[in-house]
Amino acid sequence: MKNQLRIIGGEWKRRTLPFASIEGLRPTPDRVRETLFNWLMWDIQNSKVLDLCSGSGALAFEALSRGAAEVIMIEPDVTQSGFLKQNIQLLKTNKCQLYVTTAQKALQKINQQFDLVFLDPPYGLNLWQELAESVDTKIVANGFIYVEADRELSELKLPASWKKIKETKAGIVKAGLYQKMP
**Percentage with pLDDT > 90 across the chain:** 92
Q: What is the pLDDT of residues 63-112, one digit of tens each?
A: 999 999 999 999 999 999 999 999 999 999 999 999 999 999 999 999 99
Q: What is the pTM of this model?
A: 0.96
Give the single-character DSSP code of 141: E
Contact status, residue 115 vs residue 143, Cβ threshold 8 Å: yes
Number of residues in the chain: 182
Q: Average pLDDT in the 173-178 region?
A: 97
Q: What is the pLDDT of residues 138-173, one digit of tens each?
A: 999 999 999 999 999 999 999 999 999 999 999 999
Torsion of CA 89, 93, 95, 101, to 10 degrees: -10
- Domain containing 173 equals 2-180
Using CA atoms, how far apart are residues 54 and 121, in angstroms rounded to an integer? 8
> CATH no. for residue 8?
3.40.50.150
Confidence of residue 2 (pLDDT cuts 50, 70, 90): low
Query: Count of domains in the chain?
Result: 1
Using CA atoms, how far apart are residues 117 and 63, in angstroms rounded to an integer? 11
